[in-house]
Amino acid sequence: MRSHSTASASLVLVLAVHCGGTTSGPAGGSSSSRSSGGSSGSSSASRSSTSETVCDGSSVDEQTDPANCGGCGVKCAGTCALGRCLVKLAADQTSPTAIAVDTTSVYWTDAPSVDLPTTGGGAIVKVGVTGGAPTTLVSGQADPQTLALAAGSLYWANFTGGDVAEASITGGTVTTLVPETPFTPLALVANATSLAWTTEGTTGNGAGTVMALPLAGGTPVTLAIDQRDIVALAIDPANVYWKNGPSILAVALGGGAIRTLCTLSEATSGASFGMAVDATNVYWTGRNGSAGTLLKVPVGGGTATTLASDPDTLSVLAIDATSVYFTGSGGIEKVAIDGGATTTLAAGHSAVGIAVDATSVYWTEQAGEDAGTLPVTSVPGEVYRLTPK
């Protein structure tokens, strides 16, 4: 087990805002309008059946036709399924894990090909959002499994060694922000001004920490100590959010009193593997035994609402203004942030890392028995884009 030393500590007080359990989201389905993911063809179309459309006088299945994927003339350079275009952006990656996206590129971490990496074979890789040849931006990393994108830079932490580093989105010099330490970083996030991450501490004894550092540099600030199961983390312009046991917690980026947004029931208090926040709510995956749950709570505290349940454990998630995207037993799925029916976007796929932009959802995927936990040695990993989301 690893032990760790913290930087300057700055918390003592915990303020509670008890939520008293969870409620289910609204019943019924939700409908979404799909934007075209390619070039437009004929503007005249008529529906001939539930799955076919007449485009330019020919009957086509817009659910599967790559020339008319989701609509007449919408071209798909990959596989058309369910009216969405699935493109494999990268193949033969060793162990792609965390992922981020901006207006031009997709970035991901690729861990070494050994189960306990010591050779420095990890890398940060990018490819254009429309495809092309992947480019290695950074190499020689111990085991990068977290990634954040902010202010034209990429930030990551090495699972082995525990150092936190930065490089430009164009590659070049790697700057070590936090040197190698005995603790293990489990999650890392960034906003326009600050970086935050969690450390494991010694497994089982609640010795984890939440740390923050201005992007401009300086001394890391310890926001929380004596935490456990901090696998996921979220950040907004002012606060950091995480889950400690049955509680969803928040603290200001500058440090101070920790606020309890919600104390969960025993049924949904398992470890969280994904977390995100918007101006209104914090969203996270939970666990009820081996089953998975997706929940939200207001950023100011209150009652937790269940947005989705699944027979399998739910893990990573991403959000936009209308939906939460996650991996479930049905594949890559989404649900409205206000609740409703879950929509399967890509059946048979499972994300290790997931990200969204205005039009698409992107994810890293691993195969094999150890997918999502240890780097995969036998089956290469892949990076995907699905349009429209």
What pLDDT does residue 47 have? 35
239: left (phi over 0), alpha (psi -120 to 50) or beta: beta
The better pLDDT of the pair 36, 313 is held by: 313
| Averaged pLDDT, 3-31 | 39
What pLDDT does residue 19 have? 56
Segment 339-348, tens digit of pLDDT: 999 999 999 9
Which domains does the chain show, CATH number per domain? Answer: 8-31+82-387 (2.130.10.10), 34-42+60-81 (no CATH)
- Per-residue confidence band for 368, with pLDDT thresholds at 50, 70 and 90: low
| Averaged pLDDT, 46-65 | 78
Q: Which of 146, 179, 161 is nearest to 116 (CA)?
A: 161
Q: Which residues contact 243 (CB under 8 A, 6 or more apart)?
A: 229, 230, 232, 249, 271, 272, 275, 284
- Per-residue confidence band for 230, with pLDDT thresholds at 50, 70 and 90: confident
130: left (phi over 0), alpha (psi -120 to 50) or beta: alpha
Query: What are the DSSP calls for 171-237, one per residue?
Result: EEEEEEEE---SS-EEEEEE-SSEEEEEE--STTTT-EEEEEEETT----EEEEEEE-----EEE-S
What pLDDT does residue 258 have? 98
Report the C-alpha gap between 230 and 188 in whole angstroms.
Answer: 11
Q: What's the gap between Cα 2 and its chain centre?
A: 26
Residue that is written with structure tokens 């995969």 in the block = 376
State which amino acid sits at residue 364. T
Report the C-alpha gap between 94 and 114 in whole angstroms.
Answer: 9
Strands of 228-380, DSSP E: 233-235, 239-244, 247-252, 258-263, 275-277, 281-288, 291-298, 304-310, 317-319, 323-328, 331-336, 343-347, 353-356, 361-365
Q: Which of 369, 377, 344 is nearest to 29 (CA)?
A: 344
Segment 160-190, tens digit of pLDDT: 888 999 999 999 999 999 987 767 888 999 9
State which amino acid sits at residue 11. L
Sign of CA dihedral 175, 178, 182, 184: negative
- Virtual CA dihedral for 267, 245, 334, 24, nearest 10 degrees? 40
State which amino acid sits at residue 22. T
Three-class SS of residue 387?
strand
Segment 271-321, tens digit of pLDDT: 788 999 999 999 999 877 778 999 999 999 999 999 999 998 888 999 999
Q: Which of 299, 252, 247, 242 is nearest to 268 (CA)?
A: 247
CA distances from 145 to 168, 173, 314 (A): 18, 19, 18
Report the C-alpha gap between 225 and 208 in whole angstroms.
Answer: 6
Segment 69-119, tens digit of pLDDT: 999 999 999 999 999 999 999 999 989 999 999 999 999 999 876 554 445
